[in-house]
Amino acid sequence: TRHVVIDCDPGTDDAIALWLALASPEIEVPLITVAGGNAGLASTLANARAIVGLTGQAVPVVAGADRPLLGAFRADVKVHGTDGLAGVRLPEGPAATPGLAADAIRASLRQAAPGSVTLLGIAAATNLALALASEPALADRVAEIVLMTGAVGEGNWTAGAEFNAAMDPEALAILLAAGCPMTLVTLELTAQALVTPERITALRAQGGGRCLAACCDIMEAVPPSRRLGHRGHPLHDPCALAWIVRPELFSARDVAVQVECGTGPGRGRTHIDRWGRSGTAPHARLLETLDADGFFAMLGERLARLP
């Protein structure tokens, strides 16, 4: 089994990614760390505890950054509501594990064999960047960094930038330079995982317990995407988890990536070079296509296994 440390900001789609992770037999999740993002840190931390609590599993949840490395914090209340779960209430979860995310990530890497840990980032990159920047030698423990971040084209937060990349571009730049194998899940990929009313109905029909029901309630509460023509909303973060457990659902290509850290309108924009025009050797894997029906079938089948 692969060890997957998850850094998140739940977050409607983060919630579903966490349930998918905790329902997947291929992986073990030794640690969940939390950042502010989709809502303020107090809410994202409470949500992460509640999401884990609903599964009945005991996974340490540790609080991390409440703001980016530079600049001020802003939450994405349009999609996720002020509470981060679009108004869906979950029972209070177990207490957070004391400590700080970056320390917990480093401790988890220190105990691990070389090349054995997957770092899954589905929030701004702050916590993961703080961990690796303060002890760069630990990069050798990392099998892969998988990030839901960035876009080849248009953004969803600013015209040019995707939310997670825009929240902390400097942290993303640190991760891109960490020297670890890197896989990127961008907006073009997640636009293929569209939640539609038909797909929610099919998920509910799987039966399942309180986790699948809460997943469907959350999906129903998120507004359809204007950017994608109101056809549904993209299930961003679970795609990154799906890559880890079912890579055969994807096609990919190697690319070079840079993130804009300037203060102009392009701040947080990712420049993803699919055709080798930059002259920089490819250092990341860009996921390009997703078998969406296979993805939603897997999601339903797995979440139905949870309580």
Could you list the residues that contact Ca ion (CB under 5 A)? 9, 11, 14, 122-123, 237
State the nearest-atom distance from the C-beta of 11 to ligand BDR, in Å. Answer: 4
Q: Are 194 and 232 in contact (CB under 8 A)?
A: yes
Residue 162 interaction partner, one of Ca ion, ligand BDR, none, beta carbon < 5-8 Å per kind: ligand BDR
Candidates 108, 156, 183, 270: give the one binding ligand BDR (CB under 6 A): 156
Beta strands 117-121 and 142-148: pairing type?
parallel
Residue 188 interaction partner, one of Ca ion, ligand BDR, none, beta carbon < 5-8 Å per kind: none
Stretch of 64-72, 157-165, 201-209, 218-226 contacting ligand BDR, by CB under 6 A: 157-165
**84-123: contacts with ligand BDR (CB under 6 A):** 122
DSSP string, the chain: -EEEEEEE---HHHHHHHHHHHT-TTEE---EEE-SSSS-HHHHHHHHHHHHHHHT----EEE--SS-SSS-----HHHHTTTSSTT------PPPPSS-HHHHHHHHHHTSPTT-EEEEE-S-SHHHHHHHHH-GGGGGGEEEEEEE---SS--SSSSS--HHHHH-HHHHHHHHTS-S-EEEE-HHHHTTSEE-HHHHHHHHTT---HHHHHHHHHHHHSPPPTTTTTS-EE-HHHHHHHHHH-GGGEEEEEEEEEE--SSSTTTT-EEEETTS-S-PPP-EEEEEEE-HHHHHHHHHHHHTT--
Per the rule left: phi > 0, alpha: psi between -120 and 50, beta: everything else, 83 is alpha
Candidates 162, 168, 260, 273: give the one binding ligand BDR (CB under 6 A): 162
Candidates 4, 6, 7, 14: give the one binding ligand BDR (CB under 6 A): 14
Number of residues that bind ligand BDR (CB under 6 A): 14
Task: Report CA torsion sign: 279, 281, 286, 288.
Answer: positive
Residue 268 interaction partner, one of ligand BDR, Ca ion, none, beta carbon < 5-8 Å per kind: none
**For this structure, is 236 an active site residue?**
yes
- Please identify, using beta-carbon distances, which residue of 86 and 112 lies nearer to ligand BDR: 86
Candidates 236, 269, 285, 302: give the one binding ligand BDR (CB under 6 A): 236
Q: Which residue(s) pair with 145 in the sheet?
A: 119, 182
Stretch of 18-26, 47-55, 155-163, 205-213 contacting ligand BDR, by CB under 6 A: 155-163
Residue number of the CB atom closest to ligand BDR: 163
Stretch of 11-19, 44-52, 197-205, 268-276 contacting ligand BDR, by CB under 6 A: 11-19
- Please identify, using beta-carbon distances, which residue of 163 and 250 lies nearer to ligand BDR: 163
State the nearest-atom distance from the C-beta of 8 to ligand BDR, in Å. Answer: 8
- The contact pattern for ligand BDR, residues 42-81, with x = CB under 6 A and - = no contact, is ----------------------------------x--x--
* Residues catalogued as catalytic: 236
Residues that bind ligand BDR (CB under 6 A): 11, 13-14, 38, 76, 79, 122, 148, 156, 162-164, 236-237
